[in-house]
Structure 1
Amino acid sequence: KRDQIDVYHGTSYQLWARGIKGSVVTIHDLALVKFPEFSKRLLGEGWSIYKTRKTLQRASKIIAVSKNTAKDLCDFYQVPSEKVRVIYNGIGEEFFSAPSSESLKSVRARYAIPPGDYILYVGGSDPRKNLERLLEAFSILLKKVQPLILVVTGGMGRRGKEIYQKIERLNLGENVVLTGHVSSQDLRLLYSGARLFVYPSLYEGFGIPVIEAMACGVPVITSNISSLPEVAGDAAYFINPYDIQAMAEAMERVLSDKNLAVSLQAEGLERAKAFSWEKAASQTLAVYQECLI
């Protein structure tokens, strides 16, 4: 009231103020509700869950970034479904622009990626992203497909030591490139240069890397759980992320079946066009207008 805010929007889980007419909060996922063992907090997520519950009670409207996240909210927090609006994330137009061959060569040199084909993974050592099982599957794949590189982007903070040990134990040192964090521009180039993008996450509220890869024209393999089938539609090859052998077989099939790869590329590009920040903004504005009525 002091600031004369008609509608206040907390864009990431919390409401730091209240609007005179109403308040909107965006919930991106319930990852630590689903996987409390991955919490960074020594005492767990009890306090965070309590705060989120209070926030959801105070909010006039709740934006969930997928139907799956909306369902999770209603199931876990007993949020009335009529209070929730699903608004998908978007993707920047730059991901649809084909990069030059020079820029693709430059990004490979920048991260010391050896010549030849590579599979891309995004997510670092976050245990929810399932890199350890992907490494196991990649080790199986290498027995049939050579030469091949796995490029891993993202930080190696949490469980990084275990990742390094697994790479060493599986003798993958010459076949895995760890880039660390990369800029959004370099990420787009890494997508574009990949033969295949694999995203075996155990849980996502949305899964932006899936549509980023699709927009860059890369065949996508992803998990058949949480929001990922909803977001990817019919444009990805789905796997059980807990099944290492199935993951290896899926990678081998997409790499060896040119018709399948081309089909996934075409369908993925069309699927990615369904997501835009302009659409998300328009739908968010409509939620604000609901609060003003």
Structure 2
Amino acid sequence: MKINYFFRHPNVGHSIHRVFRTIIGEIKKTKDVTMYEVPSEGSMPADVVKNLWFTYSKREKKAIHHVTGHIHDVLLALIGVKTVLTVHDLVFLDNVKNPFKRLYKWLFWLYFPVKIADVVVCISNQTKQNILQKIKTDKLRVIYNAIDPIFVPVAKPFNQEKPIILHIGTGWNKNLDRTIEALSGISCHLRIIGKLKVSQVALLEKYKTDYSNQCNLTDEEIRDEYKSCDIVNFPSMYEGFGMPVIEGQMTGRVVITSNIEPLIEVAADAAVLVNPEDVSSIRDAYETVISNESYRINLIEKGLRNAERFSVEYIAQQYLELYKTL
């Protein structure tokens, strides 16, 4: 079995590379694997044509072609060969207000790719239901993301006097502004991973937040951030999956996340669920976790058990079984 994986240009982001690198590392132990990155990072017509031609030039009659996400439109270059498409979320549609752009993206990033693909993998049931609300198809399968094996349980005494709260991401959906407000007056150190905006720095100064910031970390450096923290903070407004939830759980840390799908699905009953739009709800979660030791220990134990659902061996096996059906 030969599998060709197609990735977006790395300048667009490394999150999809990071997830699939873990899975591919397991699959390539028994299968012939080749990985490609499309040459253009843009989405203008010239970029689309360039990526389509590149993808077409790499197609093989007897191989399985797996488009790993984001570049859904390259499926147009894979008509007639075996194809799998992974869809992470539909933010490319959900956030578009211009009706013409929305129609274009619905056609070339959703409708045609889903029609062309032999199988469409959704990384959560939430993503699956979101697609089904927009297009009727029986091609959808749910396979979760896998945890990188570098994440292992690491014991650490909880710093109740001044816990380190790890916040991953500074984009619009990561809810950093409400996090900063919710932490006002709570003795802690906010560790932020991601490039800060000017407005976010101003808010940190307004609330006199004790914080530090880092970005462009390697996988190993990100793992070390989890090991060093006391609480993983992820009260996101929108996600396709939510890797920090299970990475935190696997490390043995208390996780605070949102009571929205798919975070409820991913976290199970092993995290503190908050209303991401309610500052007081987020604040109450911090205060409870910091003050209640038995509550923390119970959540950590549940988190470790929950994280087992996302082991790379288990997830890779699901993909292998899927490939066998093509």
User: TM-score range, shorter-chain basis?
Assistant: 0.7 to 0.9
Provide the residue aligned with 2:206 in structure 1: 169
C-alpha separation in 1, matches of 2:84 and 2:94: 23
2:60–2:81 contact (8 Å) kept in structure 1: no
Given residue 204 of structure 2, which amino acid in structure 1 is its aligned partner? I
- Deviations for 1:15-69, whole angstroms, at most 9, x for unmatched residues? 45427553210001112323337xxx9x965533331122112111100001111
Determine helix, strand or coil for the equivalent of 1:36.
coil
TM normalised by structure 2 equals 0.74
1:22 aligns with 2:57: no
Provide the residue aligned with 1:94 in structure 2: 150
| TM-superposed deviation, 1:99 | 8.0
- Structure 1 runs (4+) deviating above 4 angstroms are 43-46
Determine helix, strand or coil for the equivalent of 1:121.
strand
C-alpha separation in 2, matches of 1:97 and 1:246: 28
Given residue 202 of structure 1, which amino acid in structure 2 is its aligned partner? M
Aligned residue pair count: 261
RMSD across aligned positions (CA): 2.4
Select 1:187's aligned residue among 222, 234, 237. Answer: 222
TM normalised by structure 1 equals 0.82
Q: How does 1:207-286 map to 2 (within 5 A)?
A: 207-286=242-321
- When structure 1 is superposed on structure 2, of 209-218 and 90-99 the one drifting more is 90-99
- Deviations for 1:235-265, whole angstroms, at most 9, x for unmatched residues? 0110010001110011110110000011111
Q: How does 1:101-180 map to 2 (within 5 A)?
A: 116-123=162-169, 125-139=170-184, 142=185, 145-146=186-187, 148-156=188-196, 160-172=197-209, 175-180=210-215
1:7–1:19 contact (8 Å) kept in structure 2: no
**Pair 131,45 (structure 1): closer, same or farther in 2 beyond 3 Å:** farther
| TM-superposed deviation, 1:90 | 0.5
Structure 1: give runs of 5+ residues left out of the alignment: 102-114
Task: For CA contacts below 8 A with separation 6 or more, give which structure has more relative contact order.
Answer: 1
- When structure 1 is superposed on structure 2, of 3-12 and 86-95 the one drifting more is 3-12
C-alpha separation in 2, matches of 1:204 and 1:79: 22
Percent pairwise identity: 30
C-alpha separation in 1, matches of 2:167 and 2:262: 18
1:118–1:194 contact (8 Å) kept in structure 2: yes
C-alpha separation in 2, matches of 1:241 and 1:203: 10
Structure 2: give runs of 5+ residues left out of the alignment: 1-55
C-alpha separation in 2, matches of 1:261 and 1:70: 32
| TM-superposed deviation, 1:91 | 0.4
Provide the residue aligned with 2:65 in structure 1: 8
Given residue 27 of structure 1, which amino acid in structure 2 is its aligned partner? V
1:71 aligns with 2:129: yes
C-alpha separation in 1, matches of 2:271 and 2:236: 14
